[in-house]
Amino acid sequence: MGKIFTVTMPDIGEGVVEGEVIEWLKQPNDLLLQDEPVVVVMTDKATVELPAPYPGKLAKQYYKPGQMAKKDLPLYDIETASTEEIAPPLPPQTAKPTPQSPKPPPISTSSHKTLSTPPVRKLAKDLGIDINQMTGSGPEGRVTESDLLSPTSTSSADHTEPLIGIRALMAKRMAESKANIPHFSYFEQFDATRLVQLRHSFKETASTQNISVTFMPFIIKALSLCITKYPIINSSLTSDKSSILYHHAHNIGIAITTPKGLIVPVLKNVQVMNLQTLILAYEDLKQKATSNSLQNSDMKDGTITISNFGVLGGGGLWATPIINFPEVAILGVGRIHKELTIRNNEVTPRDVLNLSWSFDHRIIDGDLASAVSHYLCGLLQNPASLL
């Protein structure tokens, strides 16, 4: 038997003292290569994959998915092939805690594991079935897809699923927002025909450079101009709720759906960007989000948020978005669609877009909300002002 080394929860930075274990990429007895990702940990700032500091075999996991791993406490054990002492990596991760240090509860060491293929295990997870509690109809009790889809497996019995990861963090933040902010919503529709034409002209030029151009950069630019005219929508209440803090930087959070859930990375200092720069910056942020390569700095200091729910599924028309606490406003963007409108006493089809706002009623009243929304619609309806 080789030597056992304990890897502790590292210092992820930004004052983070704990992180939620989201997923183990390696299981006990799996071989590890140096710098190979072992576990996914999520903090309030970012989701990161933590690599093995040196090669060996995963001997023990100290946390289950959904549990909070504390900084500098054991995260997992590596069994190395050599009994020689291995110098700890920098920053140190291998020091064992003193006997007085509290240890998180270890994972059960039960070795029972039902035979099945990876696709079958994924299907079981999607169906909410604990495959390790089943005996399949295949050779040596192997569970097959038909076993999972049988009436006994997919019965209507209730089951529980742990709320972990981004879903748990989102639940916490949404509850915090609704508990602290008196929301009210405001809706408005505008003629987006010229916006569609402008985006098409940008799209044709950008396609030669392999750059994707969506409607979002135009909406982000318009929102920044709207903030310049109505800076109160880019504010927040101070912690003692006695003053309004106006934010100079237009740091606009963009709600983006990723394989790991909904996240809100932030485009910083939009007020200094022209439209061309903004198109590139937005595309870069979106690529980093979908490839799980965001940095801690990409996830903080937002001052107002845009949620483009129009791209989800079939695309919605209206919504009542929840404000990203402690901000005071959020803009929900529907999908662009055709509607018959009357122009010069003639019925004609036009592209239209619906905007759904939510505001903090302590800061923004109905009259101001109407003025803000009408101004933004005017910018987007005549988008030459964005150039």
Q: What is the mean pLDDT of residues 352-381?
A: 98
pLDDT band at 92 (very low <50, low <70, confident <90, very high): very low
CA-to-CA dists, residue 230 to 131, 184, 224, 266, angstroms: 56, 18, 10, 20
Q: With 50 as the cut, is the pLDDT of residue 268 above it? A: yes
Q: What is the C-alpha to C-alpha distance for residues 324 and 138, in angstroms, rounded to an integer?
A: 50
Q: What is the C-alpha to C-alpha distance for residues 370 and 286, in angstroms, rounded to an integer?
A: 30
- pLDDT score, position 104: 46
Kind plus residue range of the DSSP H or E element containing 70: strand 68-70
Q: With 50 as the cut, is the pLDDT of residue 99 above it? A: no
- pLDDT score, position 163: 79
pLDDT band at 166 (very low <50, low <70, confident <90, very high): confident
Which among 61-65, 88-92, 141-145, 367-371 has the top mean pLDDT?
367-371
Mean pLDDT of the chain: 86
Burial class (CB in 10 A: 0-12, 13-18, 19+), 18: middle
pLDDT band at 88 (very low <50, low <70, confident <90, very high): low
Rounded to 5 degrees, φ, ψ at 256 are: -130, 130
What the block records as the tokens of 387 is 């150039």
Q: What pLDDT, in 10s, does the model give residues 105-117?
A: 444 444 456 777 7
Paired residues of 235 in beta bridges: 246
Q: What pLDDT, in 10s, does the model give residues 33-52?
A: 999 999 988 877 677 889 99
Residue with tokens 């948020």: 305
In the chain the domains, ranked by start, together with CATH numbers, are 3-80 (2.40.50.100), 183-386 (3.30.559.10)
CB 285 within 8 A of CB 212: no
CB 232 within 8 A of CB 372: no
